[in-house]
Amino acid sequence: MRHTAYLTHADCHQHAMFDGHPEAPARLGAIEDRLIASGLLDLLRYHEAPLVTREQLARVHSAAHLDRLTELAPEGDALAEVDPDTWMNAATLDAAQRAAGAVVHAVDLVLAGEADNAFCNVRPPGHHAEYGQAMGFCFYNNIAVGAAHALAVHGLERVAIADFDVHHGNGTEVIFADTSQVLVCSTYQHPFYPYTAPLERETLIHCPLPAGTGGMGFRAAVEEHWLPAIDAFAPELILVSAGFDAHLEDDMGGMQLVESDYAWVTSELVELAGRHAGGRLVSALEGGYALSALGRSAAVHVQAMLGI
Ligand SMILES: [Zn+2]
């Protein structure tokens, strides 16, 4: 069994948008409840997520973006609109700083050898957040902040990011489009939100998939495109944008994956991390809105990271 760290923070529950918004605090509890019920939580090493620093955020976000969010942050019970899908309450910035801080700390843990891999049960998610723009429920690009930290502070030269959220991780792609040090592999439903045109780069491996693709088509795309690209890149660290909204029961998308698909792709990534990166892998929650399916999917993801 591997040593898997588990990072979260109570502040991540305090960020809430309007009633009925799918990116809701209950998502974190759905995952943690399932980890408890399955006995997996007892096998994980708990770490409280620290606050990210401005210096860490500024590696992937413009000063204007960071300042704008600070200025927009409301007080009391008010909500501030960032885009029609994305709202801030008084607790949003703390939650977002914990979410990004979790990934940074998880990177530190695996690079120090204090854990083999790590799962960050955090929100708000991050992969739509661009260099200068919050969007699609995302404020800071958590996984990008972690990748940039690994490059800048730990001196890594090759970090791979794998993103199986049903939506295209436009933010991560734009942030790393012009560096050869980060390989970004993504599968996503197409055409679908955010409707951004994918950039053409050797280090950006896109797998747009039509609605209704299902597990066989998903696995074929990963086997044909992701796995050889990651193998050839030989990353020193693998990061995972773990969105579970491609699940059959999640009506946010229509990709029709099931738990065994998430277990499979996680095992493939864990194996590649073992082959190239000393096992170092950090996963952070992105989407996933059908609460029962989210909990079950995250649990098999964590189980595959533990290797049991
Ligand atoms: Zn998503």
Dist. CA 1 → ligand 1 center (Å) = 30
The whole-number mean pLDDT for each consecutive block of 10 residues of the chain, a chain of 308 residues, reads: 98 97 98 98 98 99 98 97 97 98 99 98 98 98 99 98 98 98 98 94 97 98 98 99 98 97 99 98 99 98 98
Question: Given phi > 0 = left and psi -120 to 50 = alpha, else beta, which region is 243?
Answer: beta
- The pLDDT tens digits for 45-67 are 999 999 999 999 999 999 999 99
In sequence order, the 6+-apart residues with CB closer than 8 A to the CB of 65 are: 131, 132, 133, 134
User: What local confidence, expressed as pLDDT, does residue 106 receive?
Assistant: 99
Q: How far apart are the first and last CA of the chain?
A: 6
User: What local confidence, expressed as pLDDT, does residue 72 receive?
Assistant: 98
Dist. CA 169 → ligand 1 center (Å) = 8
Dist. CA 112 → ligand 1 center (Å) = 31
User: What local confidence, expressed as pLDDT, does residue 15 receive?
Assistant: 98
User: What local confidence, expressed as pLDDT, does residue 170 receive?
Assistant: 98
Q: How far apart are CA 76 and CA 27, in angstroms?
A: 23
DSSP per residue, 121-185:
--SS--TT-BTTB-BTTBSS-HHHHHHHHHHHTT--S-EEEEE-SSS--HHHHHHTTT-SSEEEE
Q: Which among 152, 153, 176 is positioned nearest to 161, based on CA atoms?
A: 176
Dist. CA 114 → ligand 1 center (Å) = 30
- The letter for the amino acid at 89 is N
Q: To which H or E segment does residue 29 belong?
A: helix 26-37
User: What local confidence, expressed as pLDDT, does residue 197 receive?
Assistant: 87
What's the CATH superfamily of 4-306?
Answer: Histone deacetylase domain (3.40.800.20)
Catalytic residues: 128
Dist. CA 113 → ligand 1 center (Å) = 31
